[in-house]
Amino acid sequence: MAPLTLILAGLALVNLIAFAAFARDKRKAIKAARRIPERRLLFWAAVGGWPGAKLAQRWLRHKTYKQPFGRQLNTIGLVHAMLLLAMALGISLLAPAVPVPPRVAAAVPAPSAVVPQAAPAPPTPTAVAPTPREVVVVPVAPPAGGPPQVSLRPPVARP
């Protein structure tokens, strides 16, 4: 199997587990039985099951009023979105962006092999320097009476 297929299959499995964990916790909440810890639910969301966890939260109407939990779940989704964007843009968070080449000592020619060269002649000025332009500020008077008053309402018949 291709690596991408394995990754997608793994993510689908994690999302299914997260959805099932939320469903099981909802069932236990209805029966007033011992619940699944929020930490475990957030774990399944954090390892890649955030879409499944969020879908279960919405469809099953589970853990919607517990705001610390809801904020934590949404933060996990935001981190996942930023990581996907970074991967889409090709930004690596683990390695330097540009590999640093090893430093190699440059070969220096022997002093007898160096041939002196003449310095280049300075350029001769052929173009005339532009003269600075004057900026003239002309005061503009506002229109008399201001902009026309236009109403979009139909006229009202008055007695």
Does residue 83 lie in a domain region?
yes
pTM over 0.85: no
> Domain span at residue 32?
3-89
User: Residue range 47-61: average pLDDT?
Assistant: 87
Does residue 81 lie in a domain region?
yes
Q: Is the pLDDT of residue 119 over 90?
A: no
Distance from C-alpha of 73 to C-alpha of 76, rounded to nearest angstrom? 5
Provide CB contacts within 8 A for 63, sequence distance 6+.
22, 25, 38, 41, 57, 69, 70, 73
Q: Is the pLDDT of residue 142 over 80?
A: no
pLDDT grade, residue 20 (50/70/90)? very high
pLDDT grade, residue 37 (50/70/90)? confident
Supply the pLDDT for residue 129: 56
Domains: count for the chain:
1
Distance from C-alpha of 103 to C-alpha of 122, rounded to nearest angstrom? 36
User: Residue range 80-103: average pLDDT?
Assistant: 72
Residue 130, sorted as left (phi over 0), alpha (psi -120 to 50) or beta, turns out to be beta
Q: Is the pLDDT of residue 13 over 90?
A: yes
Does residue 38 lie in a domain region?
yes
Cα torsion 51, 53, 59, 62 to 10°: value is -150
Helices (H) and strands (E) in the chain, counts: 4, 0
Provide CB contacts within 8 A for 110, sequence distance 6+.
none
Q: Is the pLDDT of residue 14 over 90?
A: yes
Does residue 14 lie in a domain region?
yes
Supply the pLDDT for residue 19: 92
Does residue 101 lie in a domain region?
no
Supply the pLDDT for residue 57: 86
User: Residue range 43-60: average pLDDT?
Assistant: 88
Q: How far apart are the first and last CA of the chain?
A: 85
Supply the pLDDT for residue 17: 92
Beta-carbon count within 10 A of 27 CB: 13
Q: Which helix H or strand E contains 85, and what residues bound it? A: helix 67-89
pLDDT grade, residue 108 (50/70/90)? low
pLDDT grade, residue 140 (50/70/90)? low
Does residue 145 lie in a domain region?
no
Q: Is the pLDDT of residue 85 over 80?
A: yes
Does residue 64 lie in a domain region?
yes
pLDDT grade, residue 4 (50/70/90)? confident
Does residue 30 lie in a domain region?
yes
